[in-house]
Structure 1
Amino acid sequence: MGGKIDHSINQGKGPYTFRMGDQNCHRIGTLVPTGDVRPKFCQLYIYDMEEEVQNRKNAISPGDPSRFNDELIRLLENMIDSHNTIAKTFRKVRDRLAVNTDSEVSIKLISRRSSNGRTYNLPTVSEVAALIEGDIGPHMEKRDIIVRRSCVVYTIEFKKRGLPHAHIVLFLHREDKFPTAADVDKIISAEIPNPTTDPVLHSVVCEYMLHGPCGKAKPSCPCMVGDNYSKYYQKPCTERTTVDGDGYPIYKRSKKGVTVIKDDVPLGNNFVIPYNSQLLLKYRAHINVEWCNQSRSIKYLFKYINKGSDRVTMQSSYTRCNEENPGRFDKIKRFYGCRYLCACEAAWRIFGFDIHYRTHAVERLQYHLPDEQPIVFHDDDWVDEVVENTSLGVSQFLNWMGCNNSTVEEMQVAEELLYCEFPTKFVWKKKVRQ
């Protein structure tokens, strides 16, 4: 049993209390016993199968193992092996070890500069993940991004860093499109709060919203590309919020602000990531808030929508003994381009949460003039079946109107009005394999 045990609760005169907190776990230990230690727990499913019954008796009662019935133990083993999913998994490990006693298999994740860095980046945390080989198909296509005036667009990114990231764009009302510097300061801050007047916000900003240290103080920081700062920190200090010539905001960062020590390096306001104090206090997490007034800023979100699934290059090495020369080993290496499915993304999809979301949803409805609709069929389809298919005469627009309880006459009039307002050249098409 593993977990954080609270021993301080028993310092009084009350009855003894056992209390555990945080994330509890069950330690299964090694799959094979080490040294002269007898097998126990999950090792009983894998190690020394010929003596499994005796090993189980010794594990339960080392002093008097003969008091157990061997036949009853075998019946229980067969029942568990047949119906228990976890037991079946351990048996597979046993079978694998029994077949490949003279071979070693290892898996390595490869970092390649030629691959897409946002998709093929290596994980920076220790986590459980599934590698799915060959998970690339026609469904992995680019998406059409349509931006409308209205409420929100967001996408969820799984960066192989533990918890997922949400990238959100909120479209403001036209009266709020070009706020003043005072309006921006009410929403976005880029300074370390005073620890005396606002201690709670100060501690949260120092924990979640400080970039670095980087540069000469820490050249190994992930934001460093050689000797260059990829995130453009540290930021210039200024006494008021302004907008530069390219339309980007320059947030207020006072030179006389508070300084904190992080990794033995002093950090000031020029290392603060812009934030909203209300959101930061409510969620206690890294929440970067920016004011975007250019299409280049909005593209920052859309690149994650088009990014596709996380992937990784996996190298599997298989070493086995040469049958002709037992002293010689053959090494085989194979490389796979795999889909990287972390535990957070798996849970996200199991619960059916949205990966990409927008409101209001936009759906393109196709319409056509009578008998001028496109028709798609295969070359081995019967002509009579194609001609008699009643769905060919109904456009997507008519179907949508039908779902909204409109009459046939109303639908036809609406479609004709649409054609008059948006004249388009319609052609009859068919798809035939040559």
Structure 2
Amino acid sequence: MYEIPNAAKISKPFQTQTSTSDDGYPKYRRRSPDQGGQSATVRNYDIDNRWIVPYNPLLLKMFDAHINVELCSSIKSIQYVTKYINKGSDQATFSIQSPNEVETYQSGRYICSSEAVWRILSFEVHDRAPTIVHLAVHLENGQRVYFTENNIQEVVNNPRDTMLTAFFKLCAQDDFAKTLTYDRVPSYYTWNQSSKTFQRRKQGTAVDGFPE
């Protein structure tokens, strides 16, 4: 059983063995008729293995549909999970014109039945647990510095702390912080972006031996 691709697809070269290319995508075995590969004439077109996409005969017969079967051996396969499955509903922007009114623009979005029920029942649309905090990591004096022509001297003379340098200063002042590793600090302290300092959480579980 063959699945004949449409005319927009480009034929692949013959290949004796399946291999993985440099970009992570597999190159499937495609034997020529001289090497034992199959060929046929379909609607006056000569078809060989160069024109056959990867397929599963059982799935084709069961679902009566075009189903390609691909080998996932690269991290690039994640793009198909985030790009196609979770890309969201189709959207369209259109305009309404009238000779007696100012041109009005509206944005419309199609909502499928499952998404409509999800919103009608007021289920959570987005959630992330546990909270993720990005901790800066850099070598000594290797942190990023942002400056302009007007404040370059101030930035050089008084560089702002990063999370890592603020953690070192916190350990020098707080006895409890000395017992923590860098990755555990967000569990007991919050990061103040304006002052570039770690502050003890006002809500949380008390720690024995360390008041406040």
Q: Which structure's CA Rg is the greater one?
A: 1
What TM-score comes out, normalization by structure 1 length? 0.25
What TM-score comes out, normalization by structure 2 length? 0.47
